Amino acid sequence: NAGVTQTPKFQVLKTGQSMTLQCAQDMNHNSMYWYRQDPGMGLRLIYYSASEGTTDKGEVPNGYNVSRLNKREFSLRLESAAPSQTSVYFCASSGPQGTSSYNSPLHFGNGTRLTVT
Amino acid sequence: AQSVTQPDIHITVSEGASLELRCNYSYGATPYLFWYVQSPGQGLQLLLKYFSGDTLVQGIKGFEAEFKRSQSSFNLRKPSVHWSDAAEYFCAVRGGSNYKLTFGKGTLLTVNP
Quick one: pLDDT at residue B36? 97
Cβ contacts of residue B110 below 8 Å, gap of 6+?
B10, B11, B12, B13, B86
For chain B, positions 64-103, list CB contacts with chain A under 8 A.
90, 94, 96-103
Q: Regarding predicted confidence, which is higher, B81 or A53?
A: B81
pLDDT at A101 over 70: no
List of residues 6+ apart from B24 with CB closer than 8 A: B4, B5, B6, B7, B71, B72, B73, B74
| More confident position, B18 or A102 | B18
Option in B9, B43, B45 nearest A90 (CB): B43
Q: State the pLDDT at residue A105.
A: 84
Nearest CB to A42; choose among B32, B34, B103: B103
Q: For the segment B55-70, what is each residue's pLDDT rounded down to a tens digit? A: 999 999 999 999 999 9
pLDDT score of A99: 47
pLDDT beyond 90 at A67: yes
Measured between CA atoms, how close is B107 to chain A, in angstroms?
Answer: 9
CB contact under 8 A, A109 and B43: yes
The per-residue pLDDT for range B12-49, each reduced to its tens digit, is 999 999 999 999 999 877 788 999 999 988 889 999 99
pLDDT confidence of residue A1: 64
Q: Which residues from chain B sit within 8 angstroms of residue A107, using beta carbons?
A: 46
The shortest C-alpha distance from B42 to chain A (Å) reads 5
Single out the residue of B43, B2, B41 nearest to residue A91, CA to CA.
Answer: B43
CA-to-CA dists, residue A82 to A36, A90, B5, B45, angstroms: 14, 18, 29, 30
Per residue in B84-113, pLDDT (tens digit) is 999 999 999 987 656 778 999 999 999 999
Predicted confidence (pLDDT) per residue in A3-41, tens digit:
999 999 999 999 999 999 999 999 988 889 999 999 888
